[in-house]
Amino acid sequence: MKIIPALIAAVLIAAPAAAAPPQSALGDAAEARALLMDSVGFASVQERGQTPALARFYRDWLVARGFAASDFAIDEMAGTAMLHFTWKAARPKAAPMALTGHLDVVEAKAADWVRDPFKASAADGYIFGRGVMDNKFDVAMMLATLAQLKANGFQPRRDIHLFLSGDEETDGVTSAAQAKQAKALGIEFMLNSDGGGGALDAAGKAFAYKLQASEKSYADFTLTITDPGGHSSTPGPSNAIARLGLVAARIAGHRWPAQVDEITRASLAAAGAARNDALGAAMRRFAEDPTDPAAIATLRANPGTIGQIGTTCVPTMITGGHAPNALPQRATLTVNCRIFPGTAIAAVQAELARIAEDPGVSFGTGIDWPVTPPSPLRSDVVDAVAAAVKTRGTTVQPTPGMDAGATDSVFWRALGIPSYGVSGLFIRAEDAFAHGLNERVPEAAIAPALKHWEVLLRRLAG
């Protein structure tokens, strides 16, 4: 999962800022660029089996730059792999911290792309390839920064653990396993490269940065209706497809209760204060009174804000029938829910059953994702992120926010480890193609991102 600047734009609007000037970075931008492009060459889709090779590539890259091979562990499991690296402090003065990202990417069909999705290419100031934005950009920036810090003699005052999961885009088995490892290691907090991040306007001016401190839970529900079926020339009063179609319509039309917590209240208040339009006014009113019906209606009508004010459930897949001239014996509907922090998945299922208004619907669920509260806004993390953003020559202040999607942080928060999305990537909405065709990142984003990660590590581990 990666930031979607269009949504950041709707929710996290800061005061207009000057275009960010070029920043010198501790890291070698050319080396980081090469690392990023090489990593795209690994088709680290879980089903393709190349994720373990990418983990070994990253390990070898860091070992070649002075880190000990004995400080790495690569475990293969669940058809993929996960990497754990520890940069040990000589004399630790604080509890360990963690950096996270993921090795895997979503599938891409080469026939649909202008370029080979698994062979990085550069053109017109962009680097193209599957995963180049989600999440190989920030992984490469983290690794390059670690290497350059070591080359410059940096000595961490706390152990720095790097965890790269192998199935963030699918079932999260390695993600959950790494969270358990982190808990056993006494990790104090985690910085997730696969969350948060900055937004640029069409002219390239920075106007927002989201510090991700909360995220929704994820659940897929499978709703099934069965029927005896029969010949299509003798229809009866019940039809599985027709009944399920009505259920789908009821769910699509349902509006879940508006909800708010300290993170979403802060983000909406900050966004509303900076806007002079109807959406901004609705944000301000909702932050003050989350029961305001007019504000709720306005926020629900905007795709960028509907996910910020409560649970959402939408029908996403439907199948049914076995022959064109036969009455359907089975119809199945998939409903995807993004569940507001603190809401139990079982409660969502119970509400879906009520909305369905059909006692013949049976429910199935997929992966049992955890439900987690927001992470506390630690002053050291907030200050470090603010300092990192400031290096871009902007007056933008980070605003805490909630992701409507899901990242590895959900597993860490479930175990009580504060987790923060702090991506170093600032990008325009029109350049954001994570999970989509012709995924790309601007080459100009590399040097500022290296500086971003340098500041974070020096402030929090130096």
List domains and CATH numbers for the chain.
5-215+374-461 (3.40.630.10), 217-365 (3.30.70.360)
Percentage of the chain beyond pLDDT 90 is: 85
Of the pLDDT bands very low, low, confident and very high (cuts 50, 70, 90), residue 9 is low
Of the pLDDT bands very low, low, confident and very high (cuts 50, 70, 90), residue 27 is low
- Predicted pLDDT of residue 28: 86
Q: Which tens digits make up the pLDDT trace of 379-429?
A: 999 999 999 999 999 999 999 999 987 899 999 999 999 999 999 999 998
- Please count the CA atoms within 13 angstroms of the CA of 303 that sit on its side-chain side: 4
Characterise 383 by phi-psi region: left (phi > 0), alpha (psi -120 to 50), beta (else).
alpha
Q: Which tens digits make up the pLDDT trace of 42-56?
A: 999 988 999 999 999
Q: Which tens digits make up the pLDDT trace of 284-313?
A: 999 999 999 999 999 999 998 999 999 999
- Predicted pLDDT of residue 275: 87
Taking the C-alpha atoms of residue 19 and residue 381, their distance in angstroms, rounded to an integer, is 25
- Predicted pLDDT of residue 70: 98
Position 341 pLDDT exceeds 60: yes
Assess whether the previous peptide bond of 135 is cis (omega < 30° from 0).
Answer: yes
Structure tokens at 433: 């193609």
Strands 189-192 and 419-421: parallel
Percentage of the chain beyond pLDDT 70 is: 94
What average pLDDT score do residues 13-20 get?
A: 38
What average pLDDT score do residues 160-185 get?
A: 97
Angle at 11 between CA 7 and CA 16, to 5 degrees: 100
Position 157 pLDDT exceeds 50: yes
